[in-house]
Amino acid sequence: MATIVVALTQVDVGAVIGFAGVTLPQLMDQSSDDLQFNTSESPLFGSMMFVGALLGSLTVSVPMVKLGQRVTLLLSLPISLASWIILATAPTNWVVLLVRFFQGITTSYITNSSSTYVAELSHCKIRGRLMSTLNLSRQIGILLY
């Protein structure tokens, strides 16, 4: 049961990864009245999430050791939800880029803590199958977005 719940968090991770591929062409449309990215901002939009994920991967070990995997995961989820809400209402381009950076951090926190959590909870005979559901859920999140 815990694996199913944790796998649903990976759908969010996949949506964060797939978001740039779907949204960037719309942000580059100069005929739109919404936010518009120029050619120098568009690479940042695609890569800020990965820069944040790099920083998140470097720092996630501290809360995972001090708080545990489950608590780290539970603290990351509201932050991820808040980042989606801020992203939907972002008034300027720099806010969008900053939110993408924080989405990368939370993505790294969710990915690392959820995989460790499932690995520790699962029996050794089914650990591989349960771990593969995390990757499958992440791919579904990419496709759904």
**Residue 55, amino acid:** L
pLDDT in 10s for each residue of the chain, 145 residues: 788 889 999 999 999 999 998 898 888 888 877 888 888 889 999 899 999 999 999 999 999 999 999 999 999 999 999 999 999 999 999 999 999 999 999 999 999 999 999 999 989 999 999 999 999 999 999 998 7
Distance of CA 30 to the CA centre of its chain: 28
CA 20 to CA 83: how far, in whole Å? Answer: 14
For 3-26, letters b (16+ CB in 10 Å) and e give beebbebbbbbbbbbbbbeebeee
User: Within 10 A of 124 (CB to CB), how many other CB atoms are there?
Assistant: 7
**Topology of the domain covering 2-27+41-144:** Growth Hormone; Chain: A; (1.20.1250)
pLDDT, one tens digit per residue, over 10-40 is 999 999 999 998 898 888 888 877 888 888 8
Q: Which of 66, 145, 61 is nearest to 108 (CA)?
A: 61
- d(C-alpha 132, C-alpha 105), whole Å: 22
Distance from CA of residue 2 to its chain's centroid?
19
107: enclosing H helix or E strand: helix 93-121
Q: What angle do CA 9, 61, 71 make, to 5 degrees?
A: 45
SS3 32: coil
Torsion of Cα atoms, 118 then 77 then 140 then 134, to 10°: -10
What's the whole-model pTM score?
0.90
CA-to-CA distance for 120 and 117, rounded, in angstroms? 5
